[in-house]
């Protein structure tokens, strides 16, 4: 039998997903935010980690809700047997409301047309469709204007096929301490809407506002539940407060050297010949590139990989399917050696935060950018 490798593919490139790390991170969030419940955000295929596996691990770790962006994402979880409550973070298209009800998803609503469509779908079922009302308190992406929130809450409350199960908002700058006053203003607007609903004898239901940053750093934003995305995967958008356990990255990106060769000083490597060897060196080729989610520009901003427990610079432009590594003079590197792009090897570690810092982006984009052609290998522990 021909060995197709640990990842089940011919090419020795894979992403390892550590479900024990997911459970650990959810536990950290529960400890930090209790008595608020934790909702694990598993949209975008679990930030590239695999939504079904992450959802199960998050629930095992104590998360009581899950959240996705798309109806299709919620259906995929249900098809896999995930039965935890699932919140849709944006108002679903009117034509999808029957599917929302059938899958037992909780829609977010914030427009009269959305309320009408959800009401119709709910009335067609045996039980009312439970929905959450989203209020735009300053993010200005989606959500009801605070001035319109009471009318929408009334419409949901009175609709025969609907029940108001929760009210929520989203924080725009909770990850920026310099803009704490804006977060405070958002929460004050949210509280004002809640007071208006209660005065009108409307129960706002489950209350939630905090994202990962709010959950970790802003106690007043926690309400009844916190919606955590990036922190579930092991990254904090804010410095962790004193006494808070550390988070553990749940994904590592790995490959193996496909070719290693000595090259003389002055030789240039890869497209554009932009990288010149400063001395005689061993250059290793690694079979993954920008089609796999390694940004083409990473080599130009000092990107490194781990080989033999040491940091080695990416040599020249990252290509679509391969990249090269300058392993140094006389390096003992050969085909088959493991290469770590994200993760730990020996005493060294490269994180998505490191890539993000070099590329002037955020860890979210790095993780979500690891493409589908990289097999995911699920582990339960390091």
Same domain, 158 and 277: no
Structural domain contains residue 80: yes
Per-residue pLDDT reduced to its tens digit, 169-227: 999 999 999 999 999 999 999 999 999 999 999 999 999 999 999 999 999 999 999 99
Per-residue pLDDT reduced to its tens digit, 333-351: 999 999 999 999 999 999 9
Q: Is the pLDDT of residue 43 over 80?
A: yes
Which is the catalytic residue, given 158, 182, 223, 271?
271
Structural domain contains residue 193: yes
Pull the structure tokens for residue 72.
């299709």
Same domain, 262 and 328: yes
Same domain, 302 and 328: yes
Same domain, 209 and 325: no
The residue out of 182, 199, 233 marking a domain boundary is 233
Structural domain contains residue 37: yes
Measured between alpha carbons, how far is residue 265 from residues 99, 170, 323 in Å? Answer: 63, 54, 19
Same domain, 111 and 207: yes
Q: Quickly count: other Cβ atoms within 10 Å of residue 13's Cβ.
A: 24
For residue 241, what pLDDT is reported? 83
Same domain, 94 and 174: yes
For residue 308, what pLDDT is reported? 96
In angstroms, the CA 54 to CA 77 distance is 10
| Residue 284 burial class via C-beta count within 10 angstroms: exposed 0-12, middle 13-18, buried 19 and up | buried
Per-residue pLDDT reduced to its tens digit, 248-294: 999 999 999 999 999 999 999 999 999 999 999 999 999 999 999 99
Same domain, 37 and 73: yes
Same domain, 284 and 224: no
Q: Is the pLDDT of residue 3 over 50?
A: no
Of 8-12, 83-87, 296-300, the poorest mean pLDDT is in: 8-12
Q: Quickly count: other Cβ atoms within 10 Å of residue 246's Cβ.
A: 10
The DSSP output letter for 111 is S
Can you tell me the mean pLDDT for 139-164? 97
Please give the residue range of the domain that contains residue 51.
Answer: 19-233
For residue 125, what pLDDT is reported? 78
Structural domain contains residue 88: yes
Same domain, 174 and 49: yes
Mean pLDDT of the chain, nearest integer: 96
Can you tell me the mean pLDDT for 18-30? 98
**CATH number where 313 lies:** 2.40.37.10
Measured between alpha carbons, how far is residue 175 from residues 82, 178, 225, 258 in Å? Answer: 31, 9, 18, 41
Structural domain contains residue 151: yes
Q: What burial letters (b/e) apply to 72-108, b meaning 16+ CB within 10 Å? A: ebbbbbeeeebeebbbbbbbbeeebbbbbbebebbbb
Same domain, 172 and 259: no
Position 381 confidence tier, pLDDT thresholds 50, 70, 90: confident
For residue 382, what pLDDT is reported? 67
Whether 43 is catalytic is: yes
Position 1 confidence tier, pLDDT thresholds 50, 70, 90: very low
**CATH number where 212 lies:** 3.20.20.10
Structural domain contains residue 359: no
In angstroms, the CA 105 to CA 155 distance is 20
Residue pair 45/51 in contact (Cβ under 8 Å)? The answer is yes
Measured between alpha carbons, how far is residue 60 from residues 25, 53, 65, 73, 168 in Å? Answer: 12, 11, 11, 20, 25
For residue 9, what pLDDT is reported? 73
For residue 11, what pLDDT is reported? 87
Q: Is the pLDDT of residue 364 over 90?
A: yes
Work out the percent of the chain whose per-residue pLDDT is above 90.
94
What is the number of domains present in the chain? 2
Whether 271 is catalytic is: yes
Same domain, 132 and 227: yes
Can you tell me the mean pLDDT for 62-78? 98
Structural domain contains residue 364: no
Which is the catalytic residue, given 4, 43, 110, 372?
43
For residue 8, what pLDDT is reported? 63
Single pTM value for the model:
0.95
Structural domain contains residue 110: yes
For residue 127, what pLDDT is reported? 86
Same domain, 139 and 200: yes
Residue for token digits 């400063």? 278
């Amino acid at each position: 039998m021909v060995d197709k490798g640990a990842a089940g593919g011919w090419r020795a490139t894979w992403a390892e997903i550590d479900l024990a790390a997911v459970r650990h991170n959810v536990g950290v969030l529960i400890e930090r935010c209790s008595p608020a419940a934790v909702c694990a955000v598993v949209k975008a295929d679990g930030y590239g980690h695999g939504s079904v596996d992450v959802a199960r691990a998050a629930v095992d770790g104590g998360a009581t809700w899950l959240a996705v962006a798309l109806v299709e994402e919620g259906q995929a979880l249900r098809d896999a047997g995930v039965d935890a409550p699932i919140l849709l973070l944006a108002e679903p298209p009117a034509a999808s409301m029957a599917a929302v009800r059938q899958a037992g998803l909780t829609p977010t609503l914030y427009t009269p047309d959305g309320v009408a469509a959800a009401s119709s779908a709910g009335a067609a079922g045996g039980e009312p469709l439970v929905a959450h009302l989203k209020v735009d308190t300053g993010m200005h992406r989606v959500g009801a204007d605070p001035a319109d929130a009471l009318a929408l809450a009334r419409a949901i409350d009175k609709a025969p096929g609907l029940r108001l199960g929760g009210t929520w908002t989203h924080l725009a700058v909770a990850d920026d301490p310099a803009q704490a006053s804006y977060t405070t203003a958002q929460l004050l607007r949210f509280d004002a809407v809640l007071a208006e609903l209660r005065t009108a004898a409307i129960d706002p239901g489950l209350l939630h506002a905090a994202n990962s940053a709010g959950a970790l750093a802003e106690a007043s934003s926690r309400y009844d539940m916190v919606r955590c995305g990036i922190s579930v995967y092991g990254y904090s958008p804010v410095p962790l407060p004193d006494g808070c356990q550390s988070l553990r990255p749940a994904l590592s990106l790995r490959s193996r050297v496909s070719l290693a060769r000595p090259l003389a000083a002055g030789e240039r490597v890869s497209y554009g010949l932009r990288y010149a060897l400063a001395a005689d060196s061993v250059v290793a080729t690694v079979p993954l590139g920008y089609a796999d989610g390694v940004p083409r520009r990473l080599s130009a901003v000092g990107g490194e990989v781990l080989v033999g427990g040491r940091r080695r610079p990416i040599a020249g432009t990252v290509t679509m399917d391969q990249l090269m590594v300058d392993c140094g003079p006389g390096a003992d590197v050969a085909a088959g050696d493991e290469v770590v792009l994200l993760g730990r090897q020996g005493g060294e570690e490269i994180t998505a935060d490191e890539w993000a810092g070099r590329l002037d982006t955020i860890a979210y984009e790095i993780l979500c950018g690891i493409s589908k052609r990289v097999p995911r290998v699920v582990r339960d522990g390091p």
